[in-house]
Amino acid sequence: MARPSYSSKKRLLFVLGLVMFISTFLIGRLGYLQIVKGEELKKGALEQWTKGITIKSKRGIIYDRKGKKLAVSVSASTVWASPADIKDPDKTAKEVARILNLDEEQVYSKITKKIGTEKLKQWITREEAQELRKLKLSGIEIVDDNRRYYPYGNFASYVLGFTNIDNNGLEGIEQTYDKYLTGTPGKWVKTTDAASRQLPFDGEKIYEASDGLSVVLTIDEIIQHFAEKAAEEAARATQAKNVSVIVMEPQTGDILALTTKPDYDPNEPRVPLNEETKRQWDNLSQEELQKRWYDMWRNFAISDAYEPGSTFKIITAAAALEENVIKPETHFYCNGFVRDIKGAVLKCSRWYNPHGSLNFIEGMNTSCNVVFVDVGRKVGKERFLKYIKAFGFGEKTEIELNGEQAGIVPSNAENVKEINLATMSYGHGIAVTPLQLINAVSAVANGGNLMTPRLVKELIDDDGKVVESFPPEVKRKVISESTSKTMLELLENVVRDGTGTSAYIPGFRVGGKTGTAQKIIDGKYAPGKYIGSFVAVAPADDPKVAILVIVDEPVGQYYGGTVAAPVAKSVLEETLSYLEVAPKFTKDEKEMVSETVTVPDIIGKNIGEAGKILTDLELKYTTEYSDLTSESIIIDQFPLPKIQVQKGSIIDLYLNVESGEKIIMPDLTSKTKAEVIKILDDLNLNYELKGEGKVRSQTPAPGLQIPIDEKIEVEFGDT
């Protein structure tokens, strides 16, 4: 046998080496794929073999404090298509479009896509689902789903908020507690072939969803109903831009009711409730429409800051009493004006008929600005600012809602000038949110504790077990028990004998304060635009509820005692009865309650004559007008004539009051600043002076007839 040549050996060795190299590479590659990349490839294979449809978790329920369901999730099916399993696309598209009221071409386009699954329509009706199931269309699957539903429509919409189509919270409690309400979604998993067709006997799996937790609010559905009804009626009667009502439990900071009218329906949050508004929105661009939506969803109670006016005098009074710089009997003198502030003249609401000598109780009852300027000065800017901040103004209340504003207060005492201290003492030159104000007043009423407003009591599971609770929280002590008690007595006097008589309820000791302030728009006081408000606590001897009513831009009457106090009275009467607070009648009130009189018709009579008629019938009346005479004529009244009311009831009178006394604007040309100040002060005019030298220009022009309360602007310079 011939021996292999050297060249043959080389070829054999080369082939052997090549085979060994290839074998080693393949073994290494196999090991890499099996060991290193095994899990990743296995996962990829499973994804190719399987398809999954998400099963949404059921969102938690939102309850009121008594267990009433305010937001729930209801069953609603969703239709999915598996294009690879559809045998007759034309027939399927036609039937699905007919039953679900969809465009046939769009349905066909979706069911012929080269994808695993495609959603055709979310939240179909039960009838639609039943009809589709009867047809047994291959590749069409109906999956149980759920959607958010608000059974009371626009009830408490600014508290509840709403969700989007994917059940994610967008506003209100739905948004701030979204992570608790949402739960964990499940999965429906199937095995498929390369064409995404479901394999027979594939052992499909369903991973059940885990439902979200439910939220229990501090809101009381009954009290919320009282507030919404009263706000709706007030909005209609006053034609106001909006009416806001907040009811709070002073001892805990619990919000029992919060509403602003007009509002929206969370079931259709992008559709205005007003038909006229709906028509106006039809032709808006998407950008403008989106702006209108956000305006509609804006929560006035926490997102808007306004000048509180005389309701803020509660804070001034509490600070002065706590610092012991005044007592209820301290005497003051009102001559109608504050003239000792350089460059400014401040007026009392009764400047035309000054209050004269009066004590602090009377100053509170009549809401005298001159008295409160003196009180503010006695407290001093450092201490006053300290109390303003201690009562929570200038900081967020930490309410469980998004979009809260902090308001506007001076950052430090150095920024508080003499004029600022004077105007802040009666609620001007400072901006607060409605929630800040009622929270501060609740602190005045509850013994001096500033609470963190509470909207959520607890989180519970499906079995009703408490998972997490949120107890009442005291932020800080602001005033003493004795100051709180004195303040409640002062506020009760305001309702019994002062500007708040429209909120008087026989048998209940109501304490409150009216407020009226001109609105600031774009940094300037807007002519003819006012906010009328009223804040109250009841009963004054053992406060169970505090209430704030704000009427924004009412048409016609705008004084807080006229437009807001009656709203508060209505809500308080119903709420105290619901809470089973027993009335305690005085002897006079017992007689008053037992006797009724018929309201006389006094329309067309002058105020002097009408006042005598009402007094003779033992009825009270209020006008809330500053410029009137005994000859002012009544053009309307409430209650209307022939209505039966209890003796001692208050009749609101509406008068045809002229805009006020007018004068001829003097010519100030070329006069010095000292001469101008003397001329304008002698005429009791309000003015603003700019520059130095002699008068270069003036507004209004000389010789014009102007209202005596118009502000005069004078500019000085070199002539």
Active site residues: 310
Residues 656 and 676: their CA atoms lie apart, in Å, by 35
Residues 563 and 574: their CA atoms lie apart, in Å, by 18
Residues 508 and 536: their CA atoms lie apart, in Å, by 12
Residue 358 near residue 368, CB atoms below 8 Å: yes
Return the residue matching tokens 């509490």.
318
Q: Which amino acid makes up residue 186?
A: G
SS3 for 627-640, per residue?
CCCCCCEEEEEECC
Residue 383 near residue 471, CB atoms below 8 Å: no
Q: 388: closest CA among 339, 419, 423?
A: 423
Beta strands in 660-719 (DSSP E): 662-664, 686-690, 694-699, 705-707, 711-717
Burial 587-612 (b: 16+ CB within 10 A, else e): eebeebeeeebebbebeebbbeebbe
Start-to-end C-alpha separation, the chain:
136
Residues 241 and 531: their CA atoms lie apart, in Å, by 10
SS3 for 367-396, per residue?
CCHHHHHHHHHHHCHHHHHHHHHHCCCCCC
DSSP 8-state code for residue 35: I
Q: Which amino acid makes up residue 460?
A: I
Distances (CA, A) of 483 to 342, 491, 517: 34, 12, 27
> Which pairing describes strands 254-261 and 344-347: parallel, antiparallel, or unpaired?
unpaired
Q: 173: closest CA among 305, 63, 268, 272?
A: 63
Start-end of H helices in 453-564: 481-497, 560-563
Q: 252: closest CA among 487, 473, 3, 565?
A: 473
Q: 145: closest CA among 59, 70, 206, 207?
A: 59
DSSP 8-state code for residue 33: I
Q: What are phi and psi of 292, to 5 degrees?
A: -65, -35
Residues 549 and 533: their CA atoms lie apart, in Å, by 5
Beta bridge partners of 654: 636
Residues 6+ apart with CB under 8 A from 358: 331, 332, 333, 334, 366, 368, 371
Q: Which amino acid makes up residue 361?
A: I
Kindly report whether the peptide bond that precedes residue 539 is cis, defined as omega within 30 degrees of 0. yes
CA-angle at 537, arms to 536 and 538, nearest 5°: 130
Residue 558 near residue 516, CB atoms below 8 Å: yes
Residue 308 near residue 432, CB atoms below 8 Å: yes
Query: Helices 381-390 and 313-322, interaxial angle, to 10°?
Result: 110
Residues 6+ apart with CB under 8 A from 92: 86, 107, 111, 137, 138, 139, 140
